Structure 1
Amino acid sequence: MKVKYLNKDFKKFLLLSGTVILFSLLFFLALVFVYYSSSIFTYNIITLLLIIVTILMIMFFCISSLTIFYVYKNKEVKSKLLLNTSKAGMKVLLPVIMALAGLFKIKKNIVRRFYVDFNNITVSAMGKRYKKEDVIVLLPHCLQDADCVFKITNDISNCRKCGKCTIGGISRIVEERKVKCFVVTGGTAARNIVKKLKPKMILSVACERDLTSGIIDVGKIPVVGIVNERPNGPCYNTCVDVSVLKDKLDSIIK
Structure 2
Amino acid sequence: MQIPYEILGKIFVLLVIVVIVGIGVALLIGAYSFRRKRILFPNFVLFMLYLFYGPAKWICRRFSIRDTIVDEILIELRNALMLEDFKRSKDRKVVFLPQCLRHPDCKARCDPIDGYQCKRCGKCDIGAVCKAADKYGFQVFIIPGGSFIKKILKAYRPKSCIGVACYPELSESMQGVAAYMPVQGVCLLKDGCFNTEADVEEIIRKMEESCV
TM-score > 0.5, shorter chain as reference:
yes
Q: Secondary structure at the match of 2:103?
A: coil
- Could you tell me how far apart the structure 1 residues matched to 2:43 and 2:152 are? 27
Match of 1:250 among 199, 205, 208: 208
* 1:1-20 superposed matches below 5 A: none
Give distance in 2, aligned partners of 1:55 and 1:239: 40
Give me the whole-angstrom Cα distance separating, in 1, the residues matched to 2:9 and 2:106: 66
Q: Distance in 2 between matches of 1:180 and 1:223?
A: 14
| Equivalent residue letter for 2:205 | D
RCO comparison, higher one (Cα < 8 Å, 6+):
2
1:169-214 Cα shifts (integer Å, max 9, x gaps): 1111001111121111111112322344443432111223322332
Bigger share in strand: 2
Greater gyration radius: 1
Of residues 119, 123, 127 in structure 1, which corresponds to 2:79? 123
Task: Name the SS for the 1:133 alignment partner.
Answer: coil
Higher helix share: 1
Counterparts of 1:61 and 1:140, CA distance in 2:
31
User: Judging changes above 3 Å, is the alpha-carbon distance between structure 1 residues 234 and 66 closer, same or farther for their aligned structure 2 residues?
Assistant: closer
Give a deviation string over 1:45-71, Cα, whole Å, max 9, x none: 757755764564355334423322332
Give a deviation string over 1:1-44, Cα, whole Å, max 9, x none.
xxxxxxxxxxxxxxxxxxxxxxxxxxxxxxxx83xxx6xxx678
Two-structure CA RMSD over aligned residues (Å): 3.5
Corresponding residue pairs, total: 206
Q: Which residue of 2 aligns with 1:228?
A: 188
Instruction: State the identity as a percent.
Output: 21
Q: Contact 1:140–1:184 at 8 Å: present in 2 too? A: yes
Q: Is the 8 A contact 1:76 1:125 kept in 2?
A: no
Distance in 2, Cα, partners of 1:55 & 1:118: 23
* Alpha-carbon distance, 1:227 to partner: 2.4
Question: After alignment, is 53-62 or 138-147 more displaced?
Answer: 53-62
CA distance in 2 between counterparts of 1:101 and 1:58 reads 12
In structure 2, the CA distance between the partners of 1:167 and 1:62, relative to structure 1 (3 Å rule), is: closer
Contact 1:138 1:183 in 2 (8 A): yes
Q: Give the match for residue 175 of structure 1.
A: 134
Q: TM-score, normalised by structure 2?
A: 0.75
Say if 2:203 is the partner of 1:217: no
1:76 aligns with 2:38: yes
Residue 88 of structure 1 deviates from its aligned partner by 1.4
Q: Gaps (5+ residues) in structure 1?
A: 1-32
Question: Partners of 2:148 and 2:17 in 1: how far apart?
Answer: 43
Q: Do 1:67 and 1:85's aligned partners in 2 also have CA atoms closer than 8 Å?
A: no
Which residue does the alignment assign to 1:201?
Answer: 160
Alpha-carbon distance in 2 for matches of 1:149, 1:45? 65
Structure 2 segments unaligned to the other structure (5+ residues): none
Shift of 1:140: 1.4
Q: 1:140 — aligned with what? A: 98
C-alpha separation between the residues in 2 aligned to 1:47 and 1:185?
A: 46
In the superposition, the TM-score normalised over structure 1's length comes to 0.64
- Indicate yes or no: 2:139 matched with 1:164: no
Separation in structure 1 between the aligned mates of residue 107 and residue 48 of structure 2, nearest angstrom: 46
- Corresponding residue for 1:7? none
